[in-house]
Structure 1
């Protein structure tokens, strides 16, 4: 085991990067570092975060070499962990993903529906290039990927790199939910033992055990149904996220068996959600005018004053903490439990083996060892089967340059669900993504 590690963050211009950098500096006890490099193709965005990072590391981890670059030629040399969070096309294309479907009366959202498929296909070429570049310079490096839409990206990477064992796809939403349950109950969510199954942004907690072995799901369910639900970091969240968490009470009223991932609101209540979305001002606009402005303004302030002490730039430490803790579990072989994406391979009984399911797993030096889920009830199985079929067809459309499979994928998607709508929105997305998508024939 190496005494100190080299880490690369791909997507250094992300507004989530300051939180990751902060987690890297504060968790030196579990993930000791020699070098941290941020890499991005957008020099201007990354420079704002990078200058903040230089000050942060100088003050909090002066023994760690920190830098940022747009030159990938040597960035992956002798690297141990690659933390990947890219946004191909930036916020301009995210806005397009959301607004094209909404102009047709379909839900537009970053990771779901037609917009989610557009983003997923757009991400794949860059993600494949990143994996190949990493492997050319550091064959054994762990790639911790949390690029959205993670469900599509994880499935696509598994198809392109079937023998790859050092890519781990993760998402922070289950952790955000666990922290929110902890706040609701007034206890430490790090002591929870969760049982979870589903696909990314499409899953459920069946049990959450405390240290005494008591299942907290009934307690949480009753509390949410009576008092509502807020994220653990509600004070930092935009209104759309507060509305999103509030919908959990509706889902539990109708489907009380398990605690749902918040993204299920789009699939279960598409008409309601559509009626409450503004086609002229979508989530991308909200992010640009809120978190984006706050984070970049604070990074610039830190650079100007020359100190990060007392900075409020970190918007959600759960995101950065999870990434660092997962990396640490691999490095130290702690066998800690996380909710991650892995090939099904019998984990969920009767479900396709190649599906990238999201489940609890023990994580150590050899990666995730998932816990069996077994048989699931027909309602959840049916929802997941349709979603899996959409995800598989969307990635096959990308890999095979197939218009037919893209049309099939959108027709199956619960947020489109009509072949004529699917064809119309697909044609519009093809035109909007002509600089990013392969030609579909």
Structure 2
């Protein structure tokens, strides 16, 4: 089995490598190719990756290359985890929206749109290269904004599934609070990427007993603290919103908070500097503790599980993924991409029946889906008017004057990455 990781020079790749090494019986990789244009980073990450495999006794071969075509050739699956513009572009996404009093964040709001515009054309180019070299390969997208990127891939006819670590993070945390194994916890997870709610926590599978009321009654403080939301919000909803709902439920408070501290991108850039220095140490043969602060917890476990299922090598029968709606949420278009529990096997991901949703959730989901459709049109076709329209449609922007100003700022900060600007 051959896997390729595009964006393999990321400082987060050793987390993925550690998962591949530990879970080699689930996903028996014979060749792993790390693809990245940054040759200096790739050499450091690739060296540590080989040492991790060697220490854990993994027999697989790790190859590094800057050549996308060579890297993805004959791959059974290709994982996408790239960041166009690096942390410098992310830092801009997280700062200039604040000038208008809007949330600065890399996956939602105006910053999220900027990332989508930079990312979609690059991902589609890579996907076409995959299709030319190996049309049977699965594409697993971890590149944000996952919902928009996955929708672009699916609309272009690629064999693609989107992946986020939010659900597996909740599964692991809830299992610990409930003192059960993670495999016993099934989430009624529903919504869009970075716009989801856990409406049920079931023990034993989709038909198991819902212990969410018990979880909130006994551990509500811990859940709320993890979300960085007041306990009152969680209690009134009676469900567990993803962390990203902070940007909607507490928008103005979050804006004030973001204005008073360094951007997350600045923090991550410093972490990356330290991590790369560590990776250059030939004695290091395991992921360093600092990597745990980088973000993306449990990504490796989720990626292994999904790849194993798609490649017919086992894996969990039900997984939370980003895939095409096809009537699962009846208030959305069939071609919308949703994030829900799905049955995953070698034929792809088929959403399970979704729980009935209150208008409190359906309204916001429909609104953001409309924005994502407009954002994808802007990413595919360009044009200031399309950017403005997408911003006007986003519930975190919504006002004409803000949309005008944010459009100008977005274009000014991203011209080098937008061929049409």
For Structure 1 versus Structure 2, the TM-score category normalised by the shorter chain is over 0.9
Q: In the alignment, which of 149, 153, 156 is matched to residue 152 of structure 2?
A: 156
The residue aligned with 1:71 is 67
Shift of 1:254: 3.7
Gap regions ≥5 residues in structure 2: none
Shift of 1:110: 1.1
Are 1:22 and 2:18 counterparts?
yes
Give the match's secondary structure for 1:434: helix
Gap regions ≥5 residues in structure 1: 232-244
Counterpart CA distance in 2 for 1:248 and 1:321 is 30
The residue aligned with 2:285 is 308
The residue aligned with 2:324 is 343
Give the match's secondary structure for 1:15: coil
The residue aligned with 2:338 is 357
The residue aligned with 2:276 is 296
Shift of 1:399: 1.8
Is this contact kept in 2: 1:103–1:279, CA < 8 A?
no
Shift of 1:226: 4.0
The residue aligned with 2:192 is 199
Tell me how large the CA RMSD over aligned residues is. Answer: 2.0
Q: 1:287 to 1:215 in 2, by over 3 A?
A: same
Q: In the alignment, which of 204, 229, 233 is matched to residue 247 of structure 1?
A: 229
Are 1:432 and 2:413 counterparts?
yes
TM-score (normalised: structure 1): 0.89
Counterpart CA distance in 2 for 1:280 and 1:259 is 27
The residue aligned with 2:243 is 262
Is this contact kept in 1: 2:116–2:379, CA < 8 A?
no
Counterpart CA distance in 2 for 1:182 and 1:134 is 38
Is this contact kept in 2: 1:192–1:211, CA < 8 A?
yes
Any runs of at least 4 consecutive aligned residues in structure 1 with deviations exceeding 6 A, and if so which? none
State how 1:11-410 maps to structure 2 within 5 Å. Answer: 11-159=7-155, 161=156, 163-164=157-158, 166-211=159-204, 213-229=208-224, 245-247=227-229, 249-256=231-238, 258-278=239-259, 281-290=262-271, 292-301=272-281, 303=282, 305=283, 307-308=284-285, 311-312=288-289, 315=292, 318-331=298-311, 332-334=313-315, 336-373=317-354, 375-410=356-391
Q: 1:397 to 1:355 in 2, by over 3 A?
A: same
Partner deviation per Cα, 1:192-246 (whole Å, 9 max, x = no partner): 1221210000011111111393212112222343455455xxxxxxxxxxxxx22
- Aligned pairs, number: 415
Q: 1:374 to 1:321 in 2, by over 3 A?
A: closer
Instruction: Return 398-407 or 341-350, whichever deviates more.
Output: 398-407
Instruction: Return 400-409 or 269-278, whichever deviates more.
Output: 400-409
Give the match's secondary structure for 1:83: strand
Is this contact kept in 1: 2:18–2:286, CA < 8 A?
no
Give the match's secondary structure for 1:68: strand
Counterpart CA distance in 1 for 2:199 and 2:367 is 21
Counterpart CA distance in 1 for 2:95 and 2:286 is 40
Is this contact kept in 2: 1:106–1:416, CA < 8 A?
yes
Counterpart CA distance in 2 for 1:402 and 1:197 is 33
Instruction: Return 343-352 or 126-135, whichever deviates more.
Output: 343-352
Counterpart CA distance in 2 for 1:438 and 1:254 is 46
Shift of 1:374: 5.7
Shift of 1:317: 5.4
Is this contact kept in 2: 1:204–1:261, CA < 8 A?
yes
Counterpart CA distance in 1 for 2:320 and 2:37 is 30
Partner deviation per Cα, 1:372-428 (whole Å, 9 max, x = no partner): 116422111111111011111111122232322221211121221211111111111
Partner deviation per Cα, 1:97-156 (whole Å, 9 max, x = no partner): 111111222110111110000001110111011101111111101111110111221222
Q: 1:374 to 1:308 in 2, by over 3 A?
A: closer
Partner deviation per Cα, 1:20-43 (whole Å, 9 max, x = no partner): 011111111111111111000111
Partner deviation per Cα, 1:342-364 (whole Å, 9 max, x = no partner): 11111012322121111100111
